[in-house]
Amino acid sequence: MLIIFLLTILGAAFSFAIKGKRRDYAIAASGIFLALTVIYSVIRFHSGYTGGIISQETFNLASSIGIVFSTGVSGFSDALLILSAIVIFLSVIITEKGRYGESLYSYILITESGLFGILISRDFLFFYIFWEVVLIPVYFIVAQYGGMNKDSVSLKFFVYTHIGSVFLLLSIFTVYTFHYESTGVFTFEMGQLMVSTYFAKIPAFWMYFAFFGFLLAFLVKMPSFPVHSWLPDTYEAAPYPGTVILSGGLSIMGGYGLFGILMPVYRSMGTGILDILMALGIISLVYFSLSAMMQQSLKRMMAFASAAAMGFVTLSFGAGLVESGYQASLELAGGMFQIVAHGLIMALIFSTLYYIYKSTGHEATHSLGGIFREAPILSSFLLAGLLASLGLPGLAGFIGEFSILVGVFGAIGWFILIVIFAMIITASYHIWAAQKSLYGPYNERLGAIRDADRPTTVKLMGMLIVIFALGVVPNLIYGLLVTYIGGIL
Amino acid sequence: MYWPGWFIFLSPIFGFVITYAVGRYYRNLSGVIASLAVLGSLIASILTFFYVQSNGTVYNSYTWFYNIHAGIYIDHLTLVMALMVSFVSLMIHLFALYYMKDDPNKHVYFAETSLFTAGMLGLVVSSNLVLFFLFWELVGLCSYLLIGFWFFKPNATAAAKKAFIVTRVGDLLFLVGMAILYSSIQGFTGLGANSPLSIPFLIQNAQAIATYVGPNVLGAVAVLFLAGAAGKSSQFPLHVWIPDAMEGPTTVSALIHAATMVTAGVYLVARVFNIFYYSAPFAMYSVVILGAFTALFAGIVGIFVNDIKRILAYSTISQIGYMLAAIGLGGVFGYGGVSFGMFHLIVHAVFKALLFMSAGAILIALMDLRDTRYMGGLWKRMPLTITLLFIGSLALIAFPYTSGYFSKDTIISASWVYYQHYGTVQSFFPWLFLATGALLTTLYTFRMFFRTALGKPRSHLAEHAKDPSIFALLPLFVLAIGALGLGAIQGYFYGYIDPSYSLPSVPFLIEIIPMSLMAVGLVITFILYGTPMWQKFKFSKNPLYRIGKNKFYLDYLFTNIIAERVIVPISAGFTLFENSYNRAVNNVGSSTLKLGDLFRRIQNGVVENYFVVLIIGVSLVFIIVKILGLM
């Protein structure tokens, strides 16, 4: 895995040297990375994975102060690696020739290596560096190729998420320092720092300080209710390939932070924090669903839908750790599955919207209307994406939402009805959006529009097949997630 | 692994793919392929029937994800349902060859109905509630797509949306039921290697589970399942979507909204009957009272409707009420209640498919004019179709010795036994509602029939109506034979579902009440609607009439009050809050613009500078911690 990661860095760096054919290069590179990641996962995870971290490698850089580059992959991060490779590949191939400048492709490739870096780093120093590395290319993608208000929005995105990162840094140094205090060893290794036995030794105040720092950083990325306001603006202003990356690639960061990094120390967390997380999850779910309902632009509506889907993830993290027995495993695995499913589904929705926008020039529900008549293929893909997003069984979204919903009763009791209410609202506005934009009499003012051509159909179909496959055979990754949880609980 | 059992639902799935792929290029083959696929299911069901006769129940189950399993479970109840679904679906597919012959998108239509049949059969044979739910939603999706099949009609897409959302409410409540069951069953010693939501596990251990989780908790689960069933089977108050769903093609109404999908809810209650049976008594009572009340309520509303398809839709709601009530009577009859309900389900599927398809034949002749006020005199002009409609109507009102008579009057008698058993006022309501329902059924059915068939044509279209060709009507004749003769297998059927069933025995006077109410209804409707007398009525000012005409304001309550006056303002409020919150965040941002500039200068995206920040940060935190640590 490390080799693949280094290749992504090389690939990204090399892309700057290419003139003229950078799109083809990026397609080839991200395709190769995707293939390599899949091959790697099949070899290492197809059988014999028993939980924990595998493929561990360590490089001492300055070991006296704990600066070590160590890597490793768990079942969960492997699933996310595949997801981000798919999403990046998709975001590259949906761009059309000559629409965007050459640098977009370099930024996308840098994002890919940043994401890979986050997912395979097992020490906080490099984790943090890659955490920041991801922000920069995305900032440039929004700032250079964005739509309305791209300057202020990209700045907002950057500053907002950066505030989260600052807290992440503070927390990292808190745990780093106390580790030195208690053992006399400098280390950034997650394997050393994120263990319950060690956490129990930190003074209570600083332990909570560290927790809240981590949580704030991850919840901003998630995003969760009070710290979300970068999200709709950024999603809306970003160019469509950027939105695909944001929704499919960057949204995993918060979830990975919770499930990949914080979960091993859940015993120190206490029910207080978990209750807060559950509450935030439910509030996000309701709040984003209700806000989404009134949005005119499909892109912005789906941005809120994406945020609401991530509310499920926060909820499942809190609830799963409160519970015990088989429902806890179902709940947590469901939360992780939801991250993957949500990434794929949102990538499909936003890429379909991109094609619809390209052929009609509109993305607001009221400016479209009846386009099923003229563009049945694109409309069917959008409908499929919307149905997947509202959790229709047979598609990937259902497995996550089902696991979360069925597992959650033990933790929240009859509050489940609030979740149900939010899900009804979700179904309503998804269907309402489909009805308004796709069905009914054709909006003649749009003139003649083009339907998807064959290459487009193949791209979107590939995505839909992945979503469908995960919905019908969830054990492709579900088993890995359950094993991963088994190693921690 | 018993392959024919899997083939029951796999055949139409293959049919779906092939129909769509081939149909894109050869439109006319699509219907044939879809019908062959459904025929495959029918053959597989018959093979499985004989296999189960000799080898007993089929149960194949495999791990799906975590402790959720997927597989097939086929017992007598399943078989009855599978045979009915594949048979009725085949008949409707055959009729659709005629009905949809001119539609440019008929390959999509046949692909979707094939997928629907697959979903319905998959639901019937699935061995786990989660897989059941998957197919449950798949049929819901197909219903959504097929109601909105004529997507350019605003009414049709609005109806599709309404259907999806209303059933979704029920589905999610069903899911909550599963959540409670899944959570509370943890630690149950009989669980073993079973999946907690496996159907055979639940029905075999229902009694022990009830003791383990407590009858009230299990009762709550049962009531939530019932809510799911009410959404799918369009029971009060979630029935509002089905009359609107009549905007879809008539064959769709026949297949989905009369014969098969709407009975999925009844099948669910029958499938997990033991959960209802062993939980607290309120669960069983809510089934019987919900069914009986809906039977009465939909019958009342049906009297005020003029649209021929909507009348049939209300009659579907009402008849499903009878089925649910019959299963609810299982509190006294045990599993016999299920056999009464299932027999009515099968019989109803046959005669209601017949009614809808004859209505479809009328609509083709009248160019989709659905208002019975403008029909009339059709018996002379379309004798074959109207005769078929007549046979269906007779079965619907339970005219003696038609199939409906055997299935429905048994239920009404059984509800009398139920009252005798408990002797309380609450237990009297089911009989009261169901017996009154018999009168109402006759009223709305023959109001429709007489207005359609007798008198003079009241529109130009009705004057020139013609029968379709006899080949197109062949499937209807098959169904008509069933509607007349299915009563013959009553005893065999009851014994097949519940070997220890006992027919309800009631006093002669009670037994003839439904029949005499039906006769009274026939006389009234003939006097009013068999003659032109009804055309002189002027009701529109009458308050009672207006309540009925507006369907007791339930649609108004859901759409105009709850959706528009409650949900939309709440959502608008949230959006307003979100916007001002967003603006506040932006203001905080711009008021610290100078600080922001500073930030920007430091964080100009060069990694080296990050290291600078990092190191400064490290030292700062280090110092702070040191100082505090020393303190």
pLDDT along chain B (631 residues), means of 10: 85 90 85 90 92 87 85 90 91 88 85 91 91 91 88 84 88 91 84 84 87 89 92 87 86 87 91 90 90 91 87 91 90 86 91 90 82 80 88 89 88 89 87 90 89 81 80 87 87 86 83 87 84 72 74 75 77 80 75 58 54 61 56 41
pLDDT for residue B631: 41
**What angle separates helix B607-630 from helix A124-145, to the nearest 10 degrees?**
130
In chain A, residues with a C-beta closer than 8 Å to the C-beta of B567 are 293, 425, 428
> In this predicted structure, what is the pLDDT of residue B614?
61
Asked whether the predicted pLDDT for residue A204 surpasses 60, the reply is yes
Encoded tokens for A328: 């806890």
Q: Which residues pair with A297 in a beta bridge?
A: A364
Q: Tell me, what's the pLDDT at B622?
A: 57
User: Tell me, what's the pLDDT at B293?
Assistant: 92
Q: Decide if A258 contacts A171 (C-beta within 8 A).
A: no
- Chain B hits for A475, CB-CB cut-off 8 Å, are 63-65
Look at residue B615 in the predicted model and tell me its pLDDT.
Answer: 62
Residue numbers of A between 221 and 250 with CB closer than 8 Å to B: 229, 232-233
Q: Compute the distance between CA of residue A473 and CA of residue A478 in angstroms, rounded to an integer.
A: 9
Interface probe, candidates A406, A481, A484, chain B, greatest B C-beta count within 10 A:
A406
Closest Cα partner for B365 from B396, B391, B389, B348?
Answer: B389
Q: Does A76 touch chain B (CB under 8 A)?
A: no
Using a CB-CB distance cutoff of 8 angstroms, which residues of chain B are in contact with residue A415? none
Q: Is the pLDDT of residue A308 over 70?
A: yes
- Name the residue in chain A with its Cα closest to that of B581: A229
pLDDT recorded at residue B87: 92
Q: Answer whether B171's CB lies under 8 Å from B228's CB.
A: yes
Which two three-digit tokens encode residue A179? Answer: 């580790």
A461 in contact with B, Cβ within 8 Å: no
Residues of chain A contacting residue B187, judged by C-beta atoms under 8 Å apart: 325
Closest CB to B570 among A177, A290, A478? A290
The pLDDT score that the predictor gives to residue B630 is 43
User: How much is the pLDDT for A370?
Assistant: 77
Residue A381 has which token pair?
């893909």
Q: Do B66 and A482 touch (CB under 8 A)?
A: yes
pTM surpassing 0.80?
A: yes
- Nearest CB neighbour to B134, from listed A394, A435, A438: A394
List A residues 127-156 in contact with B (Cβ-Cβ < 8 A): 128-129, 132-133, 136, 139-140, 152, 155-156
**Which tokens sit at B193?**
């290697």
Phi, psi of A449, deg, nearest 5: -120, 155
Check whether A275 has a pLDDT greater than 50. Answer: yes
Partnered with residue B74 across adjacent β-strands are: B58
| Digit-coded pLDDT (tens) for A28-39 | 888 888 888 888
Per the CB < 8 A criterion, the answer to whether B195 and B69 are in contact is yes
B158 and A435: CB-CB below 8 Å? yes
Pick the residue from chain B with its C-alpha nearest to A411. B183
Q: Comparing A147 with B98, which gets the higher pLDDT?
A: B98
Distance CA B584, CA B595 (A): 17
Rounded to an integer, the average pLDDT of A222-233 is 81
Q: Residues for chain A: how many in total?
A: 489
A420 and B157 within 8 Å at the Cβ level: the answer is no
Question: Over the stretch A346-367, which tens digit does the pLDDT of each residue have?
Answer: 999 999 888 888 888 777 777 7
Residue of A151 and A465 predicted with greater confidence: A465
* pLDDT score at B120: 92
Angle between helix B568-591 and helix A150-183 axes, rounded to 10 deg: 80
- Percent residues over pLDDT 90 in chain A: 4
Establish if A412 touches chain B: CB-CB under 8 angstroms: no
Q: Please count the other Cβ atoms lying within 10 Å of the Cβ belonging to residue A271.
A: 12
